Structure 1
Amino acid sequence: MVEIKLVGKEGKKKYRKYKCRVCGWVYDPLKGDPSQNIPPKTPFEELPEDWICPICRGKVGKESFEPLDEYVEF
């Protein structure tokens, strides 16, 4: 078994972007979600359970997002 560490430059961690399967909006943890008071540098896994897609608004939540092979570092 191979262990993959997601650590970038200078010990920064890599965080995955997530995409809404309904509308295609991408959650970028480096930017957060200002429309719902989610500060920058908030990993997707740390979003509140009641967080919803800011485009679909109330129609879909975290369960409708899929991980992308795109990362940001911080």
Structure 2
Amino acid sequence: MSDVAEYKSWVCLICGWIYNEEEGLPDEGIAAGTRFADIPDDWRCPLCDVSKSEFSVVEF
């Protein structure tokens, strides 16, 4: 069993866009494996431009 916590996905509650920690956002300078908490606080949703506070973790 791995000691590393599973990667999570975070969904924008406004537009439904999903940030996947495992994939990151290389086009925006966010490397694969970057945890949502480690994204800068001034980051905005690439689809609808809302703040990180409008995102919620996706639970399966």
Report the TM-score when normalising by structure 2: 0.85
Alignment: residue pair count: 60
Q: Over the residues paired in the alignment, what is the CA RMSD in angstroms?
A: 1.4
Corresponding residue number in structure 1 for 2:29: 37
1:11 aligns with 2:11: no
Q: Which residues of structure 2 form unaligned runs of 5+?
A: none
Instruction: Report the structure number with the largest CA radius of gyration.
Output: 1
What is the identity, as a one-letter code, of the residue corresponding to 2:45?
A: C
Superimposed CA distance per residue, residues 18-65 of structure 1 (whole angstroms, 9 cap, x where no aligned partner): 100111011000010123110000010111001111111xx3010110
- Structure having the larger proportion of residues in strand: 1
Report the TM-score when normalising by structure 1: 0.71
Percent identity, aligned pairs only, is 33
